[in-house]
Amino acid sequence: MNISVKSICIEITKMFGNLKFAVFIILIFASALCLGTFQESYHGTDYANRFVYKSNGFFILQFLMFLSILTATIQRLPPRKNLYGFYTLHLGLLTLFIGSFITFYKGIDGSMTLLPGVPNKEVILGSDVLRIQETQSGKSAELLLPFTPKEIPIDQNWEPFKVKRYLPFAKKNLRWTSYKHNENSTSSTQYLLVNDQFEETLTFSLRQSGDFTSSAQLGPLSVHYLPKGIFQCFKEFPQDDLFVWDIELEKCYGTSNKQLIRSKNGQNEFLTFSKNSKKIQFFPSYSPLPVILNKDGQVINTLKDLPYRVFNKKLFTSSPHLLYFGTSIAFFDKNLEEWVAQDFSENTSKLNSIDLPWMGFRTSLLKHTESEYPENYPEGVIPTQDNNAIIEGNFRAIEMEVTSAGKTQNFIVYLDQPVELEVAGVSYRIHLKKLTKELNFELKLTEFKMEKDPGTENPASYESFVSLRSPSDSISAHIFMNNPLKYSELTFYQASYFPTDSGQYGSVLSVNYDPGRAIKYVGAILLVFGSIWHFYFLRRKKTAHSTKAT
């Protein structure tokens, strides 16, 4: 039995220590590196890591290289003096592999985002995690998602939820979904806005829980999508700058026919109209909702439960505003000094296109429906990178389903866009986010400096001034290119920056912990020393043979 095992080990050693096998593995490894470089250039670093550098296949390939080097060394035992350089060289390679293995499994390669003046102690890692939390009780469950480059099905049940599929790289496709019989339907419309240099498809919906909103900002142009009944108000009261809209009856009340009474209290203007022998008052400059006034004419409260809203047309005249009402539009033309209200059906000669008074723009009606609503549905793709930015496939999503009262409904959760649901009286928060590691100290950005190239907005350099606080330390640090912060075995490098809502800049630091670094340094030294020793010995041997032959 021992002889059989020994012979098997000898054959395995011969196979893995064979020079042809070593050359084959090196060629495959080099090809994998070329593939990884190509993927990183065209599809981004994250995709390259998932597809090549941190994949199981690449790990197996490295293990086979390690095995080839190890068996080649074992085959040349017991040690011989003329192979000391060879042993040192191979020992260096093996040491490098061991150090890299330790770094891969025990190291940290992440990032930290710092907002001005806000302490942070979380390092963002590369993997994704799904978290489901009961908001009342605080109970939660987490699922670490596979580190994969492509869409993958997941069959994980957490009553009342089920995780169906995970898409690490996805794009959003628009689809129209029919309302269910128990849903309150509302209108949704798609338009085309175009001029000679610009073209944009606009999709709006009044569905409150949908993916699409009822407004958009396109440079200086503000676009609003309103209930189609309000368009009739523009037709009935073209000269009125104020009118009241009844949400339930879809009816207008204007000031020109005395349905609304305008009054003033000092500089403040109020509207009053009677409904069912009850006076309802509005303070247009304060709120579109009905208000309660005290005896001095001051607003005490707003009445959200009443179905009346005041519409102040003056708010849409100082800058370009385009109002869509399903199959109709309205806008204020400053050249004419009047409001223009048109229906798309009135322009059949122009293929449902209406000219707008701004920069040669025109708009067309593409689709209008009250039986369907638009939603974004993620499709797994290979990401595309341009100028170091992902331009397609930059969404990360997970598809789930929820079962309640015998009914099953699918929904999508996108990265860092939590979904809140209530099921059987229990509120849940579902969050797809990056895996994080909490440090035992915190960093705070105290100042961010950026120098720009003369005459341009291109950053020439940028640097972060941070304060670090831990249970035992309180220090200040200056982080910039080639000047990282090293603390508690971690190294913080200046990586990037971003503008904040306050007009300041935030900083992004890359965070690295390399527990195998010292071992890799030793391996590199052995590799260089062994290479010099080995090839010097071969050269000296060849020189000696040449001299002897002469």
pLDDT in tens, 427-463: 999 999 999 999 999 999 999 999 888 877 788 889 9
Q: Does residue 69 belong to any structural domain of this protein?
A: yes
Q: Pick the more confident residue, 230 or 9.
A: 230
What pLDDT was estimated at residue 539? 66
Residue 346 lies in a domain: yes
- The pLDDT, as a whole number, for residue 28 is 95
Q: What is the DSSP string of 133-190?
A: EETTT--EEEEEPP--SS-EEEEEEETTEEEEEEEEEEEEEEEEEEPPTTS----EEE
Quick one: average pLDDT of 50-64?
94
Is the domain of 426 the same as that of 477? no
pLDDT band at residue 271, thresholds of 50, 70 and 90? confident
Over range 383-402, report the average pLDDT: 92
Span 129-185, pLDDT tens digits: 999 999 999 899 999 999 999 999 998 998 899 999 999 999 999 999 998 877 788
Model confidence over 83-140: pLDDT tens digits?
Answer: 888 899 999 999 999 999 999 999 999 999 999 999 999 999 999 999 999 999 989 9
Is 296 part of any domain?
yes
Residue 113 domain flag: no
Residue 379 pLDDT greater than 80, yes or no: yes
Q: How far apart are CA 518 and CA 223, in angstroms?
A: 59
Q: Are residues 177 and 205 in the same domain?
A: no
Beta bridge partners of 511: 110, 492
Would you state the pLDDT for residue 253?
A: 87
Cβ atoms of 431 and 438 closer than 8 Å: no
Q: Which of 10-19, 419-428, 440-449 has the highest mean pLDDT?
A: 440-449
Q: What is the mean pLDDT of residues 537-547?
A: 62
User: One-letter amino acid identity for 148?
Assistant: T
What is the average per-residue pLDDT within 55-62? 94
For residue 401, give its domain range. 124-184+373-436
Q: How far is it, in rounded angstroms, from Cα 434 to Cα 416?
A: 8
**Residue 262's pLDDT is what?**
84
Label residue 173 exposed, middle or buried (CB < 10 Å: 0-12, 13-18, 19+).
exposed
Same domain, 231 and 273: yes
Token pair 């079962």: residue: 403
Do residues 103 and 138 both lie within one domain?
no
Report the candidate in 276, 386, 384, 368 with the shortest Cα–Cα distance to residue 325. Answer: 368
Q: What percent of the chain has pLDDT over 70?
A: 95
The overall average pLDDT reported for the chain is: 89
The answer on 480 and 415 residing in a single domain is: no
Q: Is the model's pLDDT at 549 over the cut of 70?
A: no
Q: Is residue 117 part of a domain?
A: no
Total tally of structural domains belonging to the chain: 4
- Given the DSSP bridges, would you call strands 278-282 and 268-275 parallel, antiparallel or unpaired? antiparallel
356 plus 421 within the same structural domain: no
298 and 400 co-located in one domain:
no
Instruction: Between 397 and 537, name the one with better pLDDT.
Output: 397
Nearest to 434 by CA among 419, 448, 450, 414: 414
The answer to whether residue 353 is domain-embedded is yes
pLDDT top residue among 92 and 266: 92
Same domain (yes/no): 326, 213: yes
488 and 527 both lie in a single domain = no
Are residues 292 and 204 located together in one domain of the fold?
Answer: yes
Predicted confidence band of residue 544 (pLDDT cuts 50, 70, 90)? low
At 291, the amino acid letter reads V
Q: Are residues 324 and 467 in the same domain?
A: no
Per-residue confidence (pLDDT) for residue 1, from 0 to 100: 45
Cβ atoms within 10 Å of 300's Cβ, excluding its own: 8
Residue 301 burial (10 A CB sphere; 0-12, 13-18, 19+)? exposed
Q: 412, 436, 460 — which closes off a domain?
A: 436
- State residue 542's pLDDT score: 60
Whether 115 is in a domain gets the answer no
- Residue 192: the pLDDT is 95
pLDDT tens-digit map of 503-525: 899 999 999 999 999 999 999 99
Is residue 541 very low, low, confident or very high in pLDDT (cuts 50, 70, 90)?
low
pLDDT over 90, % of the chain: 59
Residue 260 C-beta-side C-alpha neighbours within 13 Å: 27
Residue 116 lies in a domain: no
Does one domain contain both 221 and 358? yes
